[in-house]
Structure 1
Amino acid sequence: MFTGLKTAFSAADRSGEQDIMAFIDNQAALRALAQRSRTSASSGSLLTLTRRETVKWLESDPARSVHLAWVPGHKDIEGNDYADEMAKKGSSALRADISVGRRWTSLAKAKRRAKERMLQQWTREWSDSARHGQYRRLRTQSPSLTPAPHLGSLPRRELGLWLQAKTGHGDFSTYHQRPHFKHPDAHIHCRCGRHKTRLHPLICPTFLQHQDLLDPARLPSGQLNFEYLFNDNKGISLFAEYATISRAYSCNMTI
């Protein structure tokens, strides 16, 4: 819309036309232009520029007028279809200009590229850093910008317990005894006398009566498949059920 109106203003200046009528097939853009709203950073800035150029053209001559009207798209309206065709050609030419050296790009494309590069760097650091060894034990995938859909369906408390166990950031001995963040008053031993590690509540004899809940997560050897409990949707639900019923991950479960 911005490019089309700006082109119309330039053509009217050359021909001496005083009245411009533009048909737009984007109702949301027309409403936003009329209401002076800014729905997003990219569309909002273009609407601001469109409004500014329109006012500038109108104020240069009191006899001028601009009429904007909506026209439905994809309805075989000859003029609108022709405009779409010209817009495609124009955008193709612009892409060709960009390919020969011009550094023009849309805000949306720039954001997408920045996000892709950030994720690539994040994945490299996740794979190479020695600090993530405890996560690799669980075959944990590198973090993403959005949580897995299944996690969003868990109740907040169960999700919190699962995240604490997966990251080690909770009521665990290793967390309380970090070199620069020691918690001298924290209880670092379980009721059974062993250190409270993030995986210990899953195998602690104190909660033996509830551990049959975890049988679907056991390997043929009888060992728990921790990778399954922390990465598979069914395993995550199994962990949440066990943590809720057994209360094995409740704080201060001490001697």
Structure 2
Amino acid sequence: MAATLDQATLDTGPRYHTGTESYTAWHGTKKVRPQIQHLVDKLDPVLRRAIRAILPVWKTTPVPIYHQESGIPPVSLLLEARRIRFAARLKSLDLAHPLAQRTAPTPIVRAVKQSCEVRGGGFKTRLERTALFLSDCPRPTVEGISPDELVVYSDGSQLPGGATGYGYVVHQNSVTVCEGSGRLGPAEVFDAEAVGALEGLGAAVKISDASDNPIVVCLDNLAAATCLRGTASDSSQSAFLKFQVIAAAHGSIHVHWIPGHTDIPGNEQAGSLAKAGCALPEPPDAKPTLAYIRRAWWQGHMPEKYKELKLSATTGCPKELSIPRPALHHLLAARSSHGDFADYHERFNHEGARISCSCGRRKTPDHLFYCRKVGPRHRMRLTPSPAAAINQAIGRDFDKFIQMAKASSFFARICPRH
């Protein structure tokens, strides 16, 4: 469904979409509403109807829950991701390409009077503004290769306050050759892992006595390691592409995943440097990464109920969609509190609705865990606290909720809808 929607409605996005903000042509001092925003507003209801066909949820379920549970971001974020990818393509084009020539700055003609030059740089087209969305990505060069094998350990870290940093260390014959750390702007640990691997590899290939021996890059983030070896993700795409360019130029660079916190000297050293990088000042020209924007959107639009579940947003296919549809309906109802519950029926004045369980208690989202008709062998221990255990069972460990409801036939026999 998401792939079909992307092809059908978002293919022309990079050509016309100018972002969530737009400015006037004269000096660009006044912020105005983008001219195609009304088209984006028309796409949102279409996307929501498509998501409703995927998720077995009630019509009154909040819209942010649609995007969270289906793994499909809002149209504005989908268009922004397309715009970032198109900007990355513009930066990777040959200088002789027609699009690259159209995005190049207009040369200043000395024969023309300065007073006749276009003031303020002139009005930039959509293509030029998209090209300026990302910074230039110069291709790095390999200076030399060490006679002994080099091992690069990299890691990323994030403090509770949101500061994100990276660290790397280069070992040669079990001896530290060089190390480094840095601070990112608004970013996630995933982005720090990518930048740390890139900086570590860049430091390894610049060693003065380098030769053509293999270089091994080790990191404990499987998702980042997969992107380094294959298709780059949308977030921190520039770092992944730069890494792959260096690897292709070198010809003998290997990326390996290693388990974290297993007392591997190089990995522990890189982790300490990453934490030290979080304490550095934030770069003044740092831009937020796509992963950070997605998390920030979800944190800003997350319903109060979901804040207790500590569920993160994803653009992939959520694991919940693999369970049977009736079970998925009860799980999403328990998460959103929009379902066959007493408070819900009373709120919308549903006459004739059954608001009590067969045990005599009112229907609530967590009644499954307290119903006296659920056998002792099917019950779940509510430790360390009932609220934490229930939030875990309907959140990240949703398999416990599904297994408990199925084993006790709770929704079919004990607490049916009618």
Q: TM-score, normalized by length of structure 2?
A: 0.31
Indicate the structure with greater helix content.
1
Q: TM-score, normalized by length of structure 1?
A: 0.48
Q: RCO greater where, 1 or 2, for CA within 8 Å and sep 6 or more?
A: 2
